[in-house]
Chain A
Amino acid sequence: MTVAPPLELSDVTKEYDGGGELVRALVDVDLRVDRGEFVSVVGPSGSGKSTMLNTLGLLDVPTTGTVRVDGRDATTMTDPERTDARKEYVGFVFQQFFLIPSLTALENVLLPTEFHDDPGADERAQALLERVGLGDRLDHTPNELSGGQKQRVAIARALVNDPAVVLADEPTGNLDQETGQTVLGEFERITDRDVAVVTVTHDPLVADYADRTVRLVDGRLTEEGGVGGRASQGDGADRPLSEGDG
């Protein structure tokens, strides 16, 4: 297959200074996210899950290695270029929803389209809210919505710019199990439309919905059953998380 994957990490290492000590949050990570794929990233706290998601989402730059967006190297992009690439390829869903309280559901969904000319945005946003079952809540503000409804607004917001990948950080973390399941069902439907979903989560339930699950331990990625994919198992898996060489 010659089609470039929407997002790809190659040999990515991320180090940062954690209070005078060099922390290696990601070590030689390879991950390829294909269209329509639902990837679940699991792992204990502090294993580098969020760092990986931020790197995938072009919010963070790796110390070494390459991040490719649709085949283009994102590590050499300028900040505005990365911002534009985020708008084009990536949608975000957060544990805390991060909806703007003074805006209605529809306005929140439209937020990513506000700063550029996008004539079809209004219809698209409405259609998305209808798709996630909130067609009758367009003019409700976030505090008039339940947690599950808020997260569905956030999903609609993540999809409004037609991204190739939706990145979700603990999307079910603030929801009860039943509501979490409806949200995961939503993600599953997204993948049917050829949009990839990557979640990082503690929630074991997510694995039931994911096409494949990868595990991050001490910044190293290992494939955990599932189908397809080509996650790296890394080499020298016995190396400790931080090696005081900085």
Chain B
Amino acid sequence: MSRLPAVRLAVRNLNRNRVRSVLAALGIVIGVLAIATLGVFGNVLQLAATDSFGGIGNQVVVSPNADAGVESFSERDLQTIRRAAEGHGVAVPLVTGGGLVRANDSSTAAQLYGTNDPAALFDASAGTIPPRLRSGVLVGSAVAESLGVGVGSTVEIDGNRYRVVAVLAPAEDISPVTPDRAVVLPTDEFVDGTPSQVVVQADSREDANAVATEIRERANAREQRLSVFELSSIVDRIGDFFDLLNGFLVALAALSLVVAGVAIFNVMLMSTNERRGEIGVLRAVGVRKRDVLRTLVVEAALLGVLGGVVGLCLSVVAVWALYQFTTLGLDVVAHPSNLPYLLLAFGFGVTVALVSGLYPAWKAANLHPVEALRG
């Protein structure tokens, strides 16, 4: 009469001892919740960390190696760097210095950067950064705040007056070039316009790594002319560490599912033992072994699915709470890479329930009907 008699019978059997069924499913709930939540939390942690290390990982800072007696870049050095960066990102030579910046009768010390191509390294929070900086300056957010200047104001550096073209956005991540306390000028404004470092803004961590390797190979083949500073490999190592951490967390959570499996095993064994007589009747009235087996396996699977669904719902709530009560952004918390952990947890939960139900079901289905009916 029904196309899924095994499912219907299984549902009714589970309903018969609801408290016991719920307790068995609760084990799966906790296991799935633990795997999904710990997995997602670990992944979110990794995403958040990668985000804040992102800038540092994508930059390569090259400077003359003073220890080897190299005081400044040669034209060949600059060309080598530019060639290495080609296809991987933009090489921006920076003239650096320090100075006192004055405006509105107050003054503050600032890091001075000289470049004609600031758009590759900096973002503006007010005004726009011109593709080529010819006149005027860009002011870091901390400098702008302490002097009370904005776009259009005038600042004075070493007796020269400059118009503020843009205010730089505050730094969101760690970077070798810190914009907050900096003022960016055109290169010509420096007395000595030779760059003291070249910053390569690479497209990705892999690109940064490639650029650094190539510069080291080409420029430092005979002598250590250039010191190359890049953190992409360190960021990679940090990423590896988080992978390991995630693995540990998920494995720990998986242990709780094993415990849940034992609980289901126990419950199935108990309930099939109690139902020996009924199972005997089913066999006597012509229900085949495999149909009995199927009904009982479906019971275990239903416990797994029920526990898995509830566990997933709870872990979604937990992740939502993480978003609500921390400064983590939705882009990290709801990142697609979290999804596999949810699927893994659910799949593992159902599998554990199925495997645990298999032996009791097999045992009950293979019980000799005469034996079963004797009880």
| Chain A interface (Cβ < 8 Å from any Cβ of B) | 54, 57, 59-60, 79-80, 83-84, 86-88, 90-92, 94, 96, 98, 100-103, 110-115, 118-119, 121-122, 157-158, 161
Pair A102/B16 contact, Cβ less than 8 Å: yes
In the assembled complex, the Cα of A105 lies from the Cα of B8 at a distance in Å of 16
Pair B281/A83 contact, Cβ less than 8 Å: no
Pair A102/B13 contact, Cβ less than 8 Å: yes
Interface pairs A-B: 8 shortest CB-CB: A87-B286, A112-B285, A114-B5, A102-B16, A98-B281, A115-B291, A86-B286, A59-B369
| CB-nearest residue of chain A to B281 | A98
Pair B281/A102 contact, Cβ less than 8 Å: no
Pair B1/A122 contact, Cβ less than 8 Å: yes
B residues less than 8 Å from A86 (CB atoms): 284-286
- Closest Cβ of chain B: how far from A37's Cβ, in Å? 21
Among B12, B287, B373, which residue has its beta carbon within 8 angstroms of that of A115? Answer: B287
Pair B12/A103 contact, Cβ less than 8 Å: yes
Of the listed residues A94, A114, A118, the one surrounded by the most CB atoms of chain B closer than 10 A to its CB is: A114
B residues less than 8 Å from A100 (CB atoms): 278
- Closest Cβ of chain B: how far from A92's Cβ, in Å? 5
Pair B284/A92 contact, Cβ less than 8 Å: yes
Given contacts A102-B12, A115-B5, contact A88 B286 (CB under 8 A): yes
In the assembled complex, the Cα of A115 lies from the Cα of B9 at a distance in Å of 10
| CB-nearest residue of chain A to B373 | A94
In the assembled complex, the Cα of A239 lies from the Cα of B278 at a distance in Å of 38
Q: Cβ of B288 < 8 Å from any Cβ of A?
A: yes
B residues less than 8 Å from A92 (CB atoms): 281, 284-285
- Closest Cβ of chain B: how far from A86's Cβ, in Å? 4
Given contacts A59-B370, A83-B287, A101-B16, contact A114 B281 (CB under 8 A): no
Pair B280/A98 contact, Cβ less than 8 Å: yes
In the assembled complex, the Cα of A111 lies from the Cα of B9 at a distance in Å of 9
Pair B1/A91 contact, Cβ less than 8 Å: no
- Closest Cβ of chain A: how far from B372's Cβ, in Å? 10
18 A-B Cβ contacts within 8 A?
Answer: A54-B370, A59-B369, A83-B283, A84-B286, A87-B286, A88-B286, A91-B285, A92-B285, A96-B277, A98-B278, A102-B12, A102-B15, A110-B1, A111-B281, A111-B287, A112-B285, A114-B287, A161-B286
Among B13, B280, B282, which residue has its beta carbon within 8 angstroms of that of A111? Answer: B282
Considering the complex, which residues of chain B in the window 1-52 have a beta carbon less than 8 Å from any beta carbon of chain A?
A: 1-2, 5-6, 8-9, 12-13, 15-16
Pair B1/A121 contact, Cβ less than 8 Å: yes
- Closest Cβ of chain B: how far from A103's Cβ, in Å? 7
B residues less than 8 Å from A79 (CB atoms): 289
Pair A59/B16 contact, Cβ less than 8 Å: no
Of the listed residues A84, A87, A118, A119, the one surrounded by the most CB atoms of chain B closer than 10 A to its CB is: A87
- Closest Cβ of chain B: how far from A226's Cβ, in Å? 27
A residues less than 8 Å from B282 (CB atoms): 111
- Closest Cβ of chain B: how far from A94's Cβ, in Å? 7
Given contacts A98-B280, A121-B1, contact A80 B288 (CB under 8 A): yes
Pair B277/A83 contact, Cβ less than 8 Å: no
- Closest Cβ of chain A: how far from B42's Cβ, in Å? 43
A residues less than 8 Å from B277 (CB atoms): 96, 98
Pair A59/B284 contact, Cβ less than 8 Å: yes
Given contacts A59-B369, A102-B13, A121-B1, contact A157 B285 (CB under 8 A): yes
